[in-house]
């Protein structure tokens, strides 16, 4: 059996058993992780029920939970790579709600319980390419954003989807200074939001999302640079015009609205041709659309990717 998962020793035994039995679990098609979750396998983060995706997931070696939770860009929790881990308890996720509004027929407010139970959760193993030229492979747990779209029914004039993160300067150390224009905002074009790769993620490695990775609910757009995958979302709005995106606002000529992973279009100050896969020694070549061309090519046919970077 392949040992694709790269589990840390400290990553509780639950995971190990859980993932080694994935084949069996898959055949039963629905996982009931709560059965495995006895006090014997005590873990602070709750297990999530999910099915395994085979269509979009990569079979590359995943990064360890330790790597995924210790090397983060989450400026709300500090601008250093390890700050989000050290400050993870500063993100308060109790009573979280996700509001979906704007140009829709049926606005919606989802509780955390809704986000876990309303839609079938699946595991998606995606590559994540940061704009800083490093990458990881992460087994996210979530559901396709388009499931929410089907439910709220966007109006004909809704052309973009805008996302907004938590604003809590009292608790979030990074928001005590105006390093970025808080709250963090991101956006997608409607067809990008409808793409089956686009994920609303509530966990990773089979468990609820660690705070430093954007708990409790975040976006995953694996063919775009990591900063597009906004963390800790409180609001999703459907809008007519291209929405404000935080990094684009910060430096418009450096971080475009699209920000598709593209080795042929360098960042004005550094190269995007190569990347360091965390855990590997040498650098590897970066792939167009982070290797997801097959799924997203059609979104950008005829578009000048140098102009619309």
Partner 1 sequence: MYQIIVTYTFVITPLIFIIFNILFNTNIINPLSYLIISTGYISMSLLIMVLFIPLFKAIKGFFDRKIFGLSAFSYTLVHLLLYIIDNNISLKYLYADLSSLLFIQVGYIAFLLFLPLVFTSTIKAKLALKNNWFKIHRLIYIIIPLSFIHYYLIIKADYLLFFIYLIMFILILILKKRIISNE
User: Is residue 194 a contact point for partner 1 (CB under 8 A)?
Assistant: no
User: Is residue 269 a contact point for partner 1 (CB under 8 A)?
Assistant: yes
- Smallest gap from Cβ 82 to partner 1, in A, equals 6
Rg, C-alpha atoms of the chain: 19
User: Is residue 61 a contact point for partner 1 (CB under 8 A)?
Assistant: no
Torsion of CA 292, 250, 252, 218, to 10 degrees: 20
Q: Per the omega criterion (within 30 degrees of 0), is the bond before 216 cis?
A: yes
- Smallest gap from Cβ 250 to partner 1, in A, equals 6
* CA gap 165, 76 in Å, rounded: 10
CB neighbour list of residue 119: distance below 8 Å, 6 or more residues apart? 143, 147, 148
User: Is residue 167 a contact point for partner 1 (CB under 8 A)?
Assistant: no
- Smallest gap from Cβ 244 to partner 1, in A, equals 16
User: Is residue 274 a contact point for partner 1 (CB under 8 A)?
Assistant: yes
| Rounded (5°) CA angle 53-137-70 | 125
Residue 175 or 195: the one with the smaller Cβ distance to partner 1 is 175
- Smallest gap from Cβ 122 to partner 1, in A, equals 27
Q: Which residues between 249 and 268 bind partner 1 (CB under 8 A)?
A: 250, 266
- Smallest gap from Cβ 98 to partner 1, in A, equals 26
Residue 82 or 147: the one with the smaller Cβ distance to partner 1 is 82
User: Is residue 134 a contact point for partner 1 (CB under 8 A)?
Assistant: yes
User: Is residue 278 a contact point for partner 1 (CB under 8 A)?
Assistant: yes
Q: Which residues between 79 and 108 bind partner 1 (CB under 8 A)?
A: 79, 81-82, 85
Residue 131 or 208: the one with the smaller Cβ distance to partner 1 is 131
The window from 52-60, 90-98, 120-128, 280-288 that contacts partner 1 (CB under 8 A) reads: 280-288
User: Is residue 276 a contact point for partner 1 (CB under 8 A)?
Assistant: yes
- Smallest gap from Cβ 67 to partner 1, in A, equals 5
| Rounded (5°) CA angle 69-42-219 | 35
Residue 68 or 110: the one with the smaller Cβ distance to partner 1 is 68
Residue 9 or 307: the one with the smaller Cβ distance to partner 1 is 9
User: Is residue 28 a contact point for partner 1 (CB under 8 A)?
Assistant: no
User: Is residue 23 a contact point for partner 1 (CB under 8 A)?
Assistant: no
- Smallest gap from Cβ 135 to partner 1, in A, equals 11
Point out which residues bind partner 1 (CB under 8 A). Answer: 66-67, 70-71, 75, 79, 81-82, 85, 132, 134, 177, 179-180, 250, 266, 269-271, 273-274, 276, 278, 281-283
């Amino acid at each position: 059996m392949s040992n694709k998962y790269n589990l840390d020793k400290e990553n509780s035994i639950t995971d190990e058993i859980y993932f080694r039995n994935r084949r069996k679990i898959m055949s039963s098609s629905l996982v009931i992780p709560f059965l495995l979750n006895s006090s014997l396998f005590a873990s602070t983060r709750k297990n999530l029920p999910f099915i395994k995706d085979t269509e979009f997931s990569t079979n590359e070696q995943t990064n360890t939970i330790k790597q995924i939770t210790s090397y983060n860009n989450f400026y709300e929790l500090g601008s250093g790579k390890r700050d989000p881990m050290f400050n993870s308890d500063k993100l308060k996720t109790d009573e979280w709600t996700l509001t979906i509004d704007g140009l829709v027929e049926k606005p919606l407010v989802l509780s955390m319980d809704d986000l876990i139970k309303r839609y079938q959760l699946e595991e998606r193993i995606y590559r994540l390419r940061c704009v800083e030229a490093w990458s990881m492979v992460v087994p996210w747990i979530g559901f396709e954003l388009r499931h929410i779209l089907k439910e709220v029914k966007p109006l004909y004039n809704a052309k973009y989807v805008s996302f907004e993160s938590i604003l809590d300067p009292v608790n979030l150390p990074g928001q005590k200074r105006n390093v970025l224009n808080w709250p963090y905002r991101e956006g997608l074009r409607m067809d990008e939001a409808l793409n089956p790769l686009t994920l609303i993620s509530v966990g990773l490695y089979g468990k609820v999302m660690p705070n430093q990775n954007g708990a409790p609910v975040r976006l995953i757009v694996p063919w775009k640079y990591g900063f597009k995958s906004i963390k800790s979302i409180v609001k999703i709005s459907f809008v007519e015009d291209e929405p404000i995106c935080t990094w684009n606002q910060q430096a418009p000529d450096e971080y475009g609205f699209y920000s598709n992973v593209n080795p042929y279009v360098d960042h004005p100050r550094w190269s995007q041709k190569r990347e360091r896969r965390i855990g590997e020694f040498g650098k590897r070549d970066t792939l167009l659309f982070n290797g997801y061309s097959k799924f997203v090519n059609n979104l950008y046919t005829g578009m000048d990717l140098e102009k619309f970077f």
